[in-house]
Each structure stands twice: as structure tokens, then as C-alpha cells.
Amino acid sequence: MTQWPGQGKRRVCGIAGFIGAAGDAGADRPLLERMLALLAHRGPDGSGIHIERGIGLAHVRLSIIDPAGGVQPMRLGSLSVVFNGEIFNYIELRADLQRRGHVFRTDSDTEVILHLYQRYGDRFVEHLNGQFAIALWDGARQRMVLARDRAGIRPLFHARGRGRLWFASEIKAILAALPECATLDVGGLLQTFTYWGPVDPDTLFEGVRSVPPGTLVVLDRDGNETQTRYWDWTFPVHGEPASGFASVEEATAALRDLLVDAVRLQLRADVPVGAYLSGGLDSSGIVALARRFTDAPVRTFSIAFDDAEFDESEHQQAMVRHLGTEHTTLRCTQRDIGEAFPRLIRHTETPVLRTAPAPLMLLSRTVREAGYKVVLTGEGADEVFAGYDIFKEAKVRRFWARQPDSAWRPRLLGRLYGYLEKSPVENPAFARAFFGQGREHIGRPIFAHVPRWTTSGRALAFLAPELKAAAAAWDPLAFYEKRLPDGMMDWDPLSRDQYVEAKSLMASYLLSSQGDRVAMANSIEGRFPYLDHRIIEFANRLPSRWKLRGLTEKFILRRALADLLPDDILKRTKQPYRSPDARSFFVGSEPLDFVGDLLSPGRIRAAGYFDDTAVTRLFEKCRSGRAAGFADNQAFVGIVSTMLLDELFVRQRSPSSVAA
């Protein structure tokens, strides 16, 4: 056993700032303070501001290691930096830089960033293993560098206005500087109601853009902007050797070493570390690795539901007994979810199509109340190792397409979705019709995602006439393909499916609305060992059959964790985390107060996003408990969350249940 101390001064936090025309120095500081006030939940332990002529950097911090040190903004000669997140390999980087002659004043990972930039310029990001959003001012070259981590774990947004470019960890801070941007963007809305989130760099607010994952944006005082993708998911092309391993056994051993090292790095902290335990393979594996290979005490947390369709507490408790952790279970009712929803949307800053982020926000509050600031999660394993049913669906659909008249090939779909109360495969005729849609797109990189996007996109039918016309003129498949890299069709089918999943659902929803935002709502830092870029690169080089073996998902990951977990967890079929959707907004047949108000015909007409008659029909269907399918539930949750977004950010009114 080895102890892995935190050594250093590190922060998870929020950042904000600007570059551009010199303004009233007396007004800049109060404005940055207002921006920081809106990010206070991201960093309640302190703040800092640095202003020069025409540039400003601001920072709020949540102290994870050595609360007395590492204050930001931090300066080194003509360089100044603020950053949100963690550089997990900063100890190793610092030692290397010292060997090269760099002299450090602190032990912080913040100072490591400055020295790396001094030595490597814009390529400094290539050396970082972490989850981060960075704003670095180079006074000598008069340029601002914005950088975001490879997977997109930490958010970073920017917008132009009033002679400057403004940036911040969350959009609400930008709106404090540019209130004219507080208008919902039609394109962002159409994307969200199809892909579950806006596609980087688009957002739900006009004129506000995100820095895409793995991207560096450089700005000069004249307003010139260059954007460079320094990292991306990539896969072997046809004919290239895949992994470089002689056997799956050899690859499994290498993966195990990588997993241990990723967990080791992400346990670095001088505060207690918790972990989410869902009862599935991914989170159980992370906790088991921590327990077996480090001395770091890890306390576990989970969610239980009254509804058996969503509840996994039996499997969670089995893992608690197996691992011997101190454990806390949050029991979440449907009403808890509905009442938390307005606060959720304040933090997501985008509509959501499922309620699943709300219980996670409540769980992060439980973590905070237990005295923890850091949690490890199992997020990312399904994208990296092909764990979702969508990958199996696509495999069966491609197999079926080779003999479209086959009666037995589509029956393989019956092996999917066993965890659903109303599964789309329980009726063979319906399954053939549902999964048969989009077969004409088999030669396109978005083939796997057509059924999901078609289901989500049914919500567009509830739009107001003008917006519905915009939706009718929009081709969501072609739109998405324009954002994809050249040469994707040279990858094998599973690789294409994994790339689209990582860039759509994972980046714009899971790591945002269900990740950073719900954790930081309660000043909790989530860490994602499976999204260590070394693990992603390793898995992407593997033959697809080592990830998806037949219809067994995450084949090599199961092998790597085989001696750490009980058989019933190792062999358990993937059950995605879900929570009750439309039913969470009603108590019996009565809607929660804010739902009744926001979805009243007059309020719907005043907002102008939706057709009030269509919304009323859906409202009554949900009230009576007849909204059984994905399409109705997603449309209802999407409409409620869009109306909340309008209430909170456009009209700037808050339902009584919303708190900072």
C-alpha cells in the first residue's frame, strides 16, 4: 500500500475576465466583483482580481489543498493566470521543470501552468493531465490564452460586446457584463431538443460561445482570435494496426496499470475524498481500485428511489458490504426531484430532457453536508469502453441491414433494455419499426444515433409556429456531420459511434448538466478517472471486439476489474442511471406550483417558444399519468426546463424554490 498525499495548493473554482478596449478602471473592478458573485457557489473559500489596462482576471476558489496558499490570479513576470480545476500530474511536472532550471515560489499547480507556458508556449496544455479551464494573460505578447481540458469536464464560455471579449466559467457571469445576451438562441434550442444539448461552440444564449473540449483560443488586443484543437478522440483507420498488444491478456494488464495510476493521481487532496457508488461496474471499480491500491480513505454515497424501476440500492448495498466503506444513501422522492428542478436549471443554464441531474444535485448537497469537497465518479467508462445500449443497438442494426428481410436478426434487440418497465423491445413489431428507422443512413457516421435523435426530436412538434418552421428547414443529421472530423468513415463502425457519443451526449449533457454543474451547485468537485486522457487514448487504440464482445459491453474493463468485484457486479448488464421524469412534477394529479404557472396557456404564449394548445394537451396527458414513452417524457421535461430558463435568465424572475 502507498499513501498518496496531496502536496501543494490546488483549487477547484470559477474564473471570469475580459480583454479589449481600456475602460473605466473604477468601473471594471465592481463589474468583475458582480461576475464573481454569480460564481460564488463554485468557490466560496475566497476570491481575487487582477486588472491591467484593457484586461481583467478574476477568480473564486474552493480550497482542496492547503487553504493558505496558491492564491489566484497568480503572476510570474509578465504572465498572469486564473484557472478552474485540477492538474493531477503537477508534482511530476514541477520536478521536471526544476531539473530544467525553473525556480518555484510555491508548491501550487497554478504556478506549474505559468512555468510550462514560459517553456513551451501554447503547447503547455499538451503536458497537462487534468480537468481545467484556464485563462492566461501574456503581457509581453499582449495576448490572452483560453484553454479547456481534453474531455470537456470544466466549462468555459466567452462572448463579445462593448469593445471587449468576456469569458467566464458559467454563462450567468457573462450576462452580468452583457445583459443583451440574455436571449435564448433558436439554434441552441433546436440542438438541445434533438441531441440533448447544444453542440460546441453553440450555447442557449445569443452571442455566447463555449470553448470546445481540447481547444486553445488565443485573443489579442485588436480582437483577433485563433482557435486550435490540441487534442481529440481519434481511432485507427482501416488497415492500421490497432493496439500494439499481442493479446487481450497483455492489454488487460496494461489497462489495469493505467486505471491504478489514474485513481492514484485523482486521489491527491488534503481534504477527505468521497465517491459515488451506483451499484454498477464503473463506480464500483473506481472505489475498489482506491481501496486495494491506496491508503486513502474513501467514503461512498449513493441515491435510492422509491420507484423500483429506478432504484439500484440492492446492488449498492452489496458493494458497500464487499468494499467495507462508510456509506451514505440519499433517498430521493419524486417530489424532491420536482421541487429541486428550478434550482437545477439555474445551474445548468440550458434545458434538459431528463430529470436525472436533479437527484445528483441533491446528492452533492449530501456530500457537502457530510464534510466532503471531492468525489470520484465512474462517469466516462461507457463512452471509453463502449458500455451503452446504443452501441449494441447499432451493431444489431448493421447486422440486420445486411439481411433486411431476416426475421431472426432483429430479435437480437430483445436482449437490450431489460431494465426498462416499458421496453421498446418487448413488442417485436414495435421494435422492428423503431430500430428500423434510419437504416438508409447506414453509410453515415451518425447512423447509431438516428433512433435516439428521432425520439428526442419529437419535442420539436411542440414549438410555436415560427420556431417549428425553423425546425422544419433544419437538417439535424447534416448539421451534426458538418461538425465531425474528416476521415471518420475510415474508422470502424464502433469507433464512429463512440466519437459521436463522446461529442454529443457526454460533452454537452453528462459532463455539464449531470456533471460539473450539479456538483458545483453545492461546491463539490467531481473527478473522473476513466476520462484520464491516457485511458481514452489507450482504449481508442484497442480492437473494437475487445470493448464490445458480441453483445457484452466493456469486455476488457470487466477483465481488468475481475479480481476486485463480486461476480454479480462483474456480470451485471449495464443499467443507466435514470430517475422519474414527468411524474416528478405532479403530486397526485396536481402540478407543483411553478409547473402550473409556467405551463399555463397565457405564460406559454407570452414566452413565445411553444404552441400553447399542444403544450396543454401534453400537460393533461402527464397529469393523468398517461405519458409512458420516452418522447412524451422528454418533451415535457424539456418544455418545463426551457420555460424555467426563460423565467430565470430572460425575465430574471426566480421561483421561490431557487437558491444560489
- What structural domains does the chain harbor? 10-229 (3.60.20.10), 582-650 (no CATH)
| Distant-in-sequence, close-in-space partners of 485: CB < 8 Å, separation ≥ 6 | 232, 234
What span, in angstroms and rounded, lies between the C-alpha atoms of 348 and 515?
A: 10
Residue ranges of alpha helices (H) inside 437-492 are 450-457, 465-472, 476-482
Question: Where would I find the beta strands (DSSP E) of 66-129?
Answer: 74-76, 79-87
Least confident of 85-94, 165-174, 529-538, 573-582: 573-582
Q: Which residue, among 404, 401, 426, 405, has the nearest Cα to 416 in the 3D structure?
A: 426
Regarding predicted confidence, which is higher, 243 or 110?
Answer: 110
Q: What is the structure's pLDDT at 446?
A: 97
Helix axes 630-645, 334-348, angle to 10 degrees: 50
Least confident of 42-46, 582-586, 652-656: 652-656
Q: What is the structure's pLDDT at 4?
A: 28
Q: Which residue, among 109, 142, 333, has the nearest Cα to 220 in the 3D structure?
A: 142
pTM: 0.95
Q: What is the structure's pLDDT at 423?
A: 62
What span, in angstroms and rounded, lies between the C-alpha atoms of 609 and 639?
A: 9
Query: CA 262, 266, 267, 269 torsion: positive or negative?
Result: positive
| Distant-in-sequence, close-in-space partners of 233: CB < 8 Å, separation ≥ 6 | 498, 499, 502, 503, 536, 540
Q: What is the structure's pLDDT at 420?
A: 58
Would you place residue 12 in the very low, low, confident or very high pLDDT band (cuts 50, 70, 90)? low
What span, in angstroms and rounded, lies between the C-alpha atoms of 168 and 337?
A: 28
Q: Which residue, among 43, 216, 236, has the nearest Cα to 126 in the 3D structure?
A: 216
Q: What is the structure's pLDDT at 64?
A: 56
Residue 3 reports pLDDT greater than 80:
no
Would you place residue 1 in the very low, low, confident or very high pLDDT band (cuts 50, 70, 90)? very low
Peptide bond into 580 cis (omega under 30): no
pLDDT (mean) for 174-200 = 98
Residue 269 reports pLDDT greater than 60:
yes
Q: What is the DSSP letter of 610?
A: B
> Residues 30, 19: contact at Cβ < 8 Å?
no
Pairing of strands 208-210, 157-161: antiparallel
What span, in angstroms and rounded, lies between the C-alpha atoms of 120 and 217?
A: 16
- Active site amino acids: 13
